[in-house]
Structure 1
Amino acid sequence: MMSEELTRRGYCTYTFNLNGVPHSSFISLTGDMRESAKGLGAFITMVLTRTHSDKVDLVGWSQGAGPLPNQYLKFENGASKVDHFIGLVPSNHGTTAYGLNLFLNSTTSKLGARFDDSMTLLNGMSAPQQLQGSDFNKALYDTPVTQPGVKYTIITSTHDHVVVPYTNAYLHEPGVKNVLLQNICPTDKTGHGNITYDPNVIQMVDNELDSAHAHAVQCTPMKFIG
């Protein structure tokens, strides 16, 4: 896991899980991202207090690489506590789910209504919130999302078949560095699910966190997993 490797490289790392499926100890961050963002804020405050630091660097994956932290940065006054935000395959502009978003977002669709009801019952509202065109997505991204004083790095892959199209990960705003994995390591076929285990991506994240001592990425061919 990336957090373990970053710790081995000398970084002080913290991770958190909350707002998950009821009565489950291992399925987390499925609930309303507005509530999860508040939880992230409380966690960051705890880390700053414990480490006697002024700011943190955020490294996230999927939901935790895009909409959840961006909700915190934009609407929960998080920008003053974050120096660098690195997002791996973020669902920034949502996913089309290969066209299902058109039905699931529709206010007249029975499928959409049943999906929302099911996700609410399971505390899984982050799923419909991450559809391209969702009300949540519009509220967050229809106006500029990046915040002054925060550095943004996005790393995504052409083999991401969860955030579809993969270009929905990008933020085209000032201060954002958008990186396509295959432009650095052409033989890397890492997808959405295993990018946090990818040694090439770990090197890239290390370089972003400590740019003063960055090294050329030593690319390892990676197979597509998911």
Structure 2
Amino acid sequence: MANLTRDRSARTARRRRRLGVVLAAAAVSATFPASAAADDALPVINSGAAAFAHAAAHPDTAPAGANDDSCTPSPEHPRPVVLVHGTVENMTFNWYSLSPRLVNEGYCVFAFNYGQDSGLGVGAPGTFPAGGTAAIPDSAVELAEFVDEVRDTTGSEKVDIVGHSQGGMLPRYYLGELGGADAVEHLVGLSPSNHGTDVLGLSKLPGVPELLQAGLGDSVRDQLADSEFMAELNAGDDTVPGVDYTVIQTKYDEVVTPHTSAFLDGPQVTNVLLQDGCEINLTDHIGIAFDRRAEQYVLNALDPDNAVEPPCVPSPPFNGASTEAR
């Protein structure tokens, strides 16, 4: 595993840089409380378009309610939630809708940017360089460090992780290869690239994998279904003992293809297809992070004793299910 670890000094510098960003983001979002009563709930707008505009106007800021180091987990929600964004995304854009919803429900929420070492500038607005583009084993080290920081800050023995795309798959490497299983209770993935993607079949064409890697970073090559990384990640069981897994996927995923490659096998796994019982949901790979139905499935996974039926409303691609601020 030596080739998958970082030089200590480089990791230390990266950690300090990330901590600086998180602290600055927390300062910007300090006006948002870490937990909200009904009369002071944070606005929740389920809209990818609104998230895009917000991230462009407020780069390198935490999503609403996240990264409050004074937040103390409650008996009802004893584990903080760590949000892990997707490829060429960032915390500001990716968690625009879900972070305030979780905070309103009483969770302590923490988010960060990772995998920016490639220096690539192409991606969702909200940070520069683009996040989630570095080799996945390297980004998993960043996740491990961040989880440790969250546990130290909150005094919690374990966290729950919610991730989108790469952010839903990457934690599996952390759990299985970096000892993360002792620190995580539940991993929830929104359209996670668990068994890789063939990119609508394009990855099978000569030169395409190299082109994707050059344009979007090492993490994209790692996520192709035939990559060495995917072979290593899925060489054994999909899951590790002691961790619960929930996969929330849409059949209209145009990035993780076929969409069924997101699903996991194992005794601790719940796989959810958004269109089961709701054919009017047209959410795609990006839109699932802003979709009201997917959002409720996340809440149900984190708190199954208080699960409610997810709404079934029209949900277009990219934007997710739009609704008035609530």
TM over 0.5: yes
Indicate the SS of the match to 1:14.
strand
Contact 1:73 1:79 in 2 (8 A): yes
Taking a change above 3 Å as real, the CA distance of residues 153 and 23 of structure 1, as seen in their structure-2 partners, is closer
Name the aligned partner's letter for residue 6 of structure 1.
L
Taking a change above 3 Å as real, the CA distance of residues 111 and 183 of structure 1, as seen in their structure-2 partners, is closer
Contact 1:181 1:188 in 2 (8 A): yes
Contact 2:160 2:187 in 1 (8 A): yes
CA distance in 1, matches of 2:266, 2:300: 22
Structure 2 residue aligned with 1:14, among 106, 110, 114?
110
CA deviations on 1:42-85 (whole Å, 9 max, x unpaired) are 0000000100001000000000011x111101100000000010
Q: Which residue number corresponds to residue 40 of structure 1?
A: 143
Q: Which residue number corresponds to residue 82 of structure 1?
A: 184
Q: Structure 1, unaligned stretches of length 5 or more?
A: 104-108
Taking a change above 3 Å as real, the CA distance of residues 110 and 213 of structure 1, as seen in their structure-2 partners, is closer
Higher relative contact order (CA 8 A, sep 6+): 1
Q: Give aligned-pair identity as a percent.
A: 39
Name the aligned partner's letter for residue 62 of structure 1.
S
Q: Which residue number corresponds to residue 106 of structure 1?
A: none
Please give the TM-score of this superposition, normalised by the length of structure 1: 0.89
Taking a change above 3 Å as real, the CA distance of residues 34 and 158 of structure 1, as seen in their structure-2 partners, is same
Contact 1:93 1:141 in 2 (8 A): yes
Q: Structure 2, unaligned stretches of length 5 or more?
A: 1-96, 122-126, 320-326
Q: Which residue number corresponds to residue 100 of structure 1?
A: 202
Name the aligned partner's letter for residue 16 of structure 1.
F
Contact 1:30 1:125 in 2 (8 A): yes
Say if 2:193 is the partner of 1:91.
yes
Give the number of the structure whose residues are more often helix, by fraction. 1
Taking a change above 3 Å as real, the CA distance of residues 114 and 209 of structure 1, as seen in their structure-2 partners, is closer
CA deviations on 1:180-203 (whole Å, 9 max, x unpaired) are 111143211100011111111111
Structure 2 residue aligned with 1:29, among 128, 132, 135?
132
Name the aligned partner's letter for residue 218 of structure 1.
P
Q: Which residue number corresponds to residue 3 of structure 1?
A: 99
CA distance in 1, matches of 2:203, 2:120: 29
Q: Which residue number corresponds to residue 190 of structure 1?
A: 283
Indicate the SS of the match to 1:189.
coil
Name the aligned partner's letter for residue 272 of structure 2.
V
CA distance in 2, matches of 1:98, 1:170: 17
CA distance in 2, matches of 1:139, 1:5: 35
Please give the TM-score of this superposition, normalised by the length of structure 2: 0.63
Deviation at 1:143, TM superposition (A): 1.5
Alignment of 1:1-226 (within 5 A): 1-20=97-116, 21-22=118-119, 25-26=127-128, 27-66=130-169, 68-103=170-205, 109=206, 112-113=209-210, 115-116=212-213, 118=214, 124-225=217-318
Deviation at 1:114, TM superposition (A): 5.5
Deviation at 1:179, TM superposition (A): 0.7
Deviation at 1:224, TM superposition (A): 2.4
Indicate the SS of the match to 2:271.
strand
CA deviations on 1:102-161 (whole Å, 9 max, x unpaired) are 23xxxxx55545554x25xx7x10011111111110010121131100000001001111
Q: Show structure 1 runs of 4+ deviating over 6 A.
A: none
- Shifted more, 90-99 versus 39-48: the winner is 90-99
Deviation at 1:208, TM superposition (A): 1.1
Contact 1:74 1:145 in 2 (8 A): no
Name the aligned partner's letter for residue 202 of structure 1.
E
Matched length: 216
